[in-house]
Chain A
Amino acid sequence: MSRITKSGRWFAAVAVAAALSLTACGSSDDTAGDDSTGGGCHPATLGFMAALTGDSAALGQDALNGVNTAVGQFNDANPDCKVTIKTFDSQGDPDQATKLASQIVGDTSIIGLIGPAFSGESLATGPAFNEAGLPSISQSATNVTITQQGWTYWHRVIANDGAQAPAAAKYITGDGGATKVFVVDDGSDYGKGLADGVRDALGSADVGDDTITTGQTDFSATVQKIMSSGADGVYYGGYYQECGLLLKQLRQAGYKGVFGSGDGSHNAAVITAAGANAAEGAFFTDAGAPPTDDFTALFEKYNNGEEPGSYSAEAYDATKVFLDGIAAGVTTREAMQDFITDYDEQGVTKEIKFDDTGEVATQTIYVYKVENGSFTTGQPIE
C-alpha cells in the first residue's frame, strides 16, 4: 500500500511540473503571436504527417526526404531562425491519423502541416485541422472530394484525380492503343475515386470492372475475369503492393495487352513485386512532376546521395511555402493561412498558387513507363 502512495506522490509532482512548464510555453507563444508577421524571421516548428512505417512507408520516406531537403537548405541559409520538423507516423491508416490529428492540433508550436500524404487520412483529419485553423499543404493526396468539403485550411500542391483520370483514359486508348479496357480498383478512397474517373472517361471502351481488397496477394479471380473479358487494356486504381502482384499474375496468365496504373502504384517496389519482365511496358500516370537536374543535385546533397522518389519534389514545394512564410516573419497559424492564400511563386514542380478551395492552379499529369526494369522520365500528357 505504502509503495503505491509513494509512487502516486511522485507522479503528482511530475504532473504539476509538466503542467507548469506547458503553461510557460503557452504564454511565451502568445506574446510572440501578438506580432504575427512583424518583419524578421523567428524559429518555428512544422508538422509532417505520412506513413513512415507499415505497408506504404516508402512513399512517406520519399516525401520526408523532400521536406528535409527544404528545411536543411533553409536552416543553412538562416542559422538564426531554425525550423524544426515534427514527424507524425500515420502508417497510412485514417484511424491512426485521426488520433495524431488531435495531438498535432494540441501542439501549439506547430504553425503548419505538410501532409496528410493520403486521401483517406486527409478526409479523416480535415475537419479537425479546419476547426483548429491549422493550415496544411498535402504533397500527394489527390482524391477529388477533399477540396469539395468546404475546408479553408486544406491545400495541395498536386493535380487531383479529376485531372488524372481523364488523362489516364486518354493515354490508354490513345498512345496505349487499347480499345477494350478493364478497370480494377482496391476500394480505397483514392483507388476507387481514380478508377471511377477513368471508367467515366472511357465510356463504352470500359468492358469490365472489378474491386479487390488491400492485403490480398492472390488475384486469380480478377485475372480470370480480365482474361475472359477479352480486354486489351487494364487500368488499376490503387497502391503498389497489390498493383505489382496483379500485374505479375496477369502476365503469367498470358495477358498481352497494355497495363497502367496511377500515382499510388508509381513506385520502384511495383517493379520488384511484378518482376522486371512482367513490368516492362507498364505505364503509370502521376501528377508528380519528374525532378529536374538542379533539384536532384540539391536533394542528393541533403540526403546522403539518395535520389528523389515519389512526391519528393512536391513535398519540397509544400515545405517551401511554409518556409517562405516563416522567412517573412509568420509566427501563428492564422498568419500562415493568410500568407498561403496570397502565395504565388514558381516551385520546382510548377507554379504554386492556390484557389479558394485549396487546389493548386496548375493541373498537369505526367506518364512514366517501365523500360528495362526502371521508370522513364515522365512526359506530360497533352
Chain B
Amino acid sequence: MPPAAGTPDDAVRPDTGDRGSLVDDLIHSFFALTIQGIALGAVYALIALGYTLVYGVLRLINFAHSEVFMYGTFATAWIFVLIGPGKDTHLGNVVGVLIVAFVASMIMSGLIALVVERIAYRRLIRNRAPSLIMLISAIGASITLSELMGQRAAISDWFGLRDNLSDYVSHPRDTYGMGGTTVNPTQLFKIGDYRITDIDIVVIVAAILMMVGLDFFVRKTKFGRGMRAVAQDPESAALMGVNSQRIVQLTFLLGGIMAGAAACLYMLRIGVTKPNVGFILGLKAFTAAVMGGIGNLRGALLGGLILGVAENYGSALVGTQWKDAVAFVLLILILLVRPSGILGEVLGKARA
C-alpha cells in the first residue's frame, strides 16, 4: 500500500509508485546487493565445486553432495556449542574457535564424501553400472544422510547417550544454532551507503583462496594430473599406471573439503542450520555448476558468483518472492545461448 499522495511520507520517499520504488531500491542499494550477492555466491561456488569435480571425473551428478555440505554446517555448529563463547561477540574474539570449526567442517564433510563414495558409488563404478543406477544410489544416500541427522536424538538414545549429548541432539529436526554464540559483523569501510563488514570480507576472501588452492592442486600437482587423466580417458590412464579408484576417492574428498569450507562460511553468515539445509543450497550450487559449465572448476566459481548477485538484483527488481525463479530463468537463458554453460569446458580438456 503506497501512501496516498500529499501525506508527509512523500517528503521522505518521493518515489511512491510501486514499480518506481523497486528500481529505486536497486540503484540505492546497488553496492549492498552486489557485495552480499558475492558473499552468497561464494558459498554456492564452493559447493558447486563438489558437483563439478565429480562430474568432471565420473560423468555423473553426486546428488548426495548437498548432505556433505549439511554435515559440515553441523560440525561448525557443534564446535561453537562445545567451545564457543555462547554470547553475542565479534569476529576478533572467536578467530581461534572459527579456525577449529573451519578445519572440523572440512574434515567432517571430507569424511562424509568418502563414505558416500565408498557406500553409494564404489561397487557400482567397479561393475560399470549405468549412470541412472548411480543417480538413484546417490539420491538414496542423500535421503539416508539427511534422515540420520534428523533422527540424531533417537540414534544417541540407542547408545544411551541422549542425556549426555542433549545440547547436540535434542530437537533434531528444528533449527539448530551455535549454542547462543552470535558473531556480529563489524564495519570496516563504506562503499556508497553500504557498510562492508569483516564477515563479508572473510567469507569472500576465504572462498576465493580455497578455490585458487584447488585450481592450483588440479593443474600443478601429480594427483591433479591423475585426475585430469582419468577425466579424459579412464582406460588409458589406468594403462599408464594411474590408480583410478584412488583418484575417484581423492575427487570426492576434495569436493567434500570445499563443501566443508562452504559450510563453515555459511554458518558464519547465517548462524543456524537444520537437517534439510542442503536441499535448496545444493540445488542452487548445482545450478551454479551447470551455469558456469559443469566439469569446469573456474566455471563453478563464475556460475556461483553470477547466481548469487543475480538473485539479489532480481529480488530488488521484481520482488523477493521471485528470488528463486530469477535464478532458474537465468539458468535457462544462459543454457539457450550457451548449452554447455558459460565457460563450457570440461575438466579433462583443461590445459595444465
Binding site for B on A (CB under 8 A): 53-55, 57-58, 180, 187, 199-200, 202-204, 206-213, 215-222, 224-225, 227-230, 240-241, 244-245, 248, 252-254, 269, 272-273, 275-278
Contact = CB atoms under 8 A, between A and B. Distances in A.
A276 B180 contact: yes
A221 B272 CA distance: 19
Given A207-B3, A213-B321, A218-B270, A272 B177 contact: yes
B4 interface: yes
A228 B28 contact: yes
Contact of B182 (A53, A216, A220, A278): A278
B4 A204 contact: yes
A4 to B, nearest CB: 25
Interface in B305-331: 311-312, 315-316, 319-321, 323-324
B32 interface: yes
Contacts, number: 129
Contacts of B12: 180, 207, 230
Interface in B1-55: 1, 3-4, 7, 9, 12-13, 21, 24-25, 28-29, 32-33, 36-37, 40
Contacts of A212: 320-321, 323
Given A204-B4, A204-B7, A277-B88, A272 B195 contact: no
A220 B29 CA distance: 10
7 contacts: A210-B319, A211-B321, A213-B320, A220-B37, A224-B29, A275-B271, A276-B87
A57 B87 CA distance: 26
Contact of A269 (B33, B37, B175, B270): B175
Contacts of A200: 1
Contacts of B28: 228
B348 interface: no
Contacts of B122: none
Nearest to A213: B321
Contacts of A57: 173-174
Nearest to A61: B171
Contacts of B271: 245, 248, 273, 275
Contacts of B324: 213
B274 interface: yes
B337 to A, nearest CB: 26
Interface of B: 1, 3-4, 7, 9, 12-13, 21, 24-25, 28-29, 32-33, 36-37, 40, 87-88, 150, 171, 173-175, 177, 180, 182, 184-185, 193, 195, 269-272, 274, 276-277, 279-280, 311-312, 315-316, 319-321, 323-324
Given A57-B174, A199-B1, A215-B280, A208 B9 contact: no
A269 B177 CA distance: 9
B182 A248 contact: yes
Given A208-B21, A228-B29, A187 B1 contact: no
A224 B182 contact: no
A206 B180 contact: no
Contact of B323 (A199, A216, A241, A273): A216
Given A180-B9, A204-B7, A224 B25 contact: yes
A272 B272 contact: yes
Contacts of A206: 1, 3
A249 B113 CA distance: 31
B29 A225 contact: yes
Given A199-B1, A221-B323, A245 B33 contact: no
Given A217-B277, A248-B182, A53 B173 contact: yes
A253 B174 CA distance: 25
A219 B173 CA distance: 22
Given A224-B29, A272-B175, A204 B321 contact: no
A211 B312 contact: no
Chain A interface, >50% SS class: helix
A211 B24 CA distance: 17
Contacts of B320: 210-213, 219, 221-222, 225
A217 B173 contact: no
A204 B32 contact: no
A276 B88 contact: yes
A275 B28 CA distance: 29
Contact of B316 (A199, A221, A254, A273): A221
Nearest to A279: B182
Contacts of B312: 220-221
A209 B18 CA distance: 10
Nearest to A217: B270
Given A275-B180, A278-B88, 10 more contacts: A180-B9, A208-B21, A218-B270, A222-B320, A224-B25, A224-B33, A241-B175, A244-B272, A248-B182, A252-B184
Nearest to A219: B320
Nearest to A52: B173
B180 A218 contact: no
A199 B37 CA distance: 29
Nearest to A91: B173
A361 B30 CA distance: 50
Given A180-B12, A248-B271, A58 B88 contact: no
A98 B46 CA distance: 39
Contacts of A278: 88, 182
A213 B319 CA distance: 11
A273 B175 contact: yes
Nearest to A228: B28
Nearest to B270: A217
B175 A224 contact: no
A208 to B, nearest CB: 7
Contact of B195 (A225, A248, A254): A254
A278 B183 CA distance: 11
A306 to B, nearest CB: 12
B272 A224 contact: no
Contact of A222 (B182, B280, B315): B315
B308 to A, nearest CB: 9
Nearest to B182: A275
Contacts of A217: 270, 272, 277
A244 B25 CA distance: 24
Given A224-B29, A225-B25, A275-B88, A55 B9 contact: no
